[in-house]
Chain A
Amino acid sequence: MLIYLSLLQDENEKNKFEQLYIEYRQIMFYVAKGILKDEHLAEDALHQAFLKLVDNLDKINEIKCHKTKGFLVVIVKSVSLNIFSKRKKQQVEPIDLYNNQIANESYNLEDEVADKTEHDRLVQNILKLPPKYSNILILKYGHDLNTKEIAKIVGISGSNVRKRIQRGREKVLKALEERSDQVDG
Chain B
Amino acid sequence: MDNLISEKAFSDIVKKAESIMLQQIPNINEQAHTFTNEFEDKMKLISKVANRKMSWNGLMRYAKKIAIIFLIILVTSFATIMSVEALRVRFFEIITRAFEKYTYIEFEKSNLATADDNEYIFYEPSYIPKEFKLIKHEIFHTTAILTYVNDYGDETIFKQYPLEHTKMKIDTEGTTLNSITIRGSKGHYFKNKGLTTIMWQEKQYGFMLSSESEKKILIKMAESIRINKSNGQ
Contact = CB atoms under 8 A, between A and B. Distances in A.
Interface stretch (B12-20, B106-114, B208-216, B222-230): B12-20
B147 to A, nearest CB: 13
B11 interface: yes
B175 to A, nearest CB: 26
A20 B232 CA distance: 39
B50 A17 contact: yes
Interface string A46-85: 1100110110011000000010011001100000000000
Nearest to A122: B13
Contact of A13 (B22, B29, B54): B54
Contact of B53 (A54, A122, A137, A180): A54
Contacts, number: 146
Contacts of B43: 21, 47, 50
Interface of A: 2-3, 5-7, 9-10, 13-14, 16-18, 21, 25-27, 29-31, 33, 39-40, 43, 46-47, 50-51, 53-54, 57-58, 66, 69-70, 73-74, 99, 119, 122-123, 126-127, 134, 137-138, 140-142, 146-149, 158, 162, 169-170, 172-174, 176-177, 180
Interface of B: 1-2, 4-5, 10-11, 13-22, 24-26, 28-30, 32-33, 35-36, 39, 42-43, 46-47, 49-51, 53-55, 57-59, 61-62, 65-66, 149, 151-153
